[in-house]
Amino acid sequence: MNQAYERIKGTLIGCDYGDAMGMPSEMMTRDILNLAFPDGIHHFEKSSSLDFFGRKFSAGTVTDDTINTLLVCDTILENHGEFETIPYLTKLQTWMDDNAEINPYVIGPSTAKALNAIKKGTPISEAGKYGTTNGSAMKVSPLGRSCKLIAE
């Protein structure tokens, strides 16, 4: 395998593992986290009864962060190394429509709010402006990897 492929693979595996490790504590305050997991989280855990979203996920389940990261990858691949907003949003909306039964438990609040705003006519540049969660830090990792690959 070439080095660029291995780096991309490592980035995606890291995103997936990090998401699955963080899923049980997502949106929890420190106090609630200590109640739910008094010994901390040291391996994959299922959702607790104190899950912020009321989810009942098994250990190792990923969230919208991983789903979005993979959709970003698909968009880059299908657009020959370029990221395009509209194709990405179309993919995300299709995924949400196809998985409506789990959306309340998987899609993050900032993502859901932004997509609903876009559906109602808010310009894309304004739709996610006041999001308060931080999944974008992970979701953009394929962009960084693809830019590095282009530079090489």
At 8-55, the pLDDT tens digits run 899 999 999 999 999 999 989 999 999 999 999 999 999 999 999 898
State phi, psi for 45 to the nearest 5 degrees. Answer: -125, 150
- Taking each helix axis from N to C terminus, what angle separates 85-98 and 64-78, rounded to the nearest 10 degrees? 130
Overall number of domains in the chain: 1
Interatomic CA distance for residues 54 and 48, integer angstroms? 9
Nearest CA to 61 out of 105, 91, 94 is that of 105
> What is the span of the domain harbouring residue 81?
3-151
Exposed, middle or buried, 129 (CB in 10 Å: 0-12/13-18/19+)?
exposed
- Taking each helix axis from N to C terminus, what angle separates 3-22 and 64-78, rounded to the nearest 10 degrees? 160
At 97-106, the pLDDT tens digits run 898 887 777 7
Pair 138, 15: CB distance under 8 Å? yes
Q: Is residue 41 left, alpha or beta, with left meaning phi > 0 and alpha meaning psi from -120 to 50? A: beta
At 45-101, the pLDDT tens digits run 999 999 998 989 999 999 888 988 999 999 998 988 888 899 999 998 898 889 888
Question: Domain of 119: which CATH number?
Answer: 1.10.4080.10
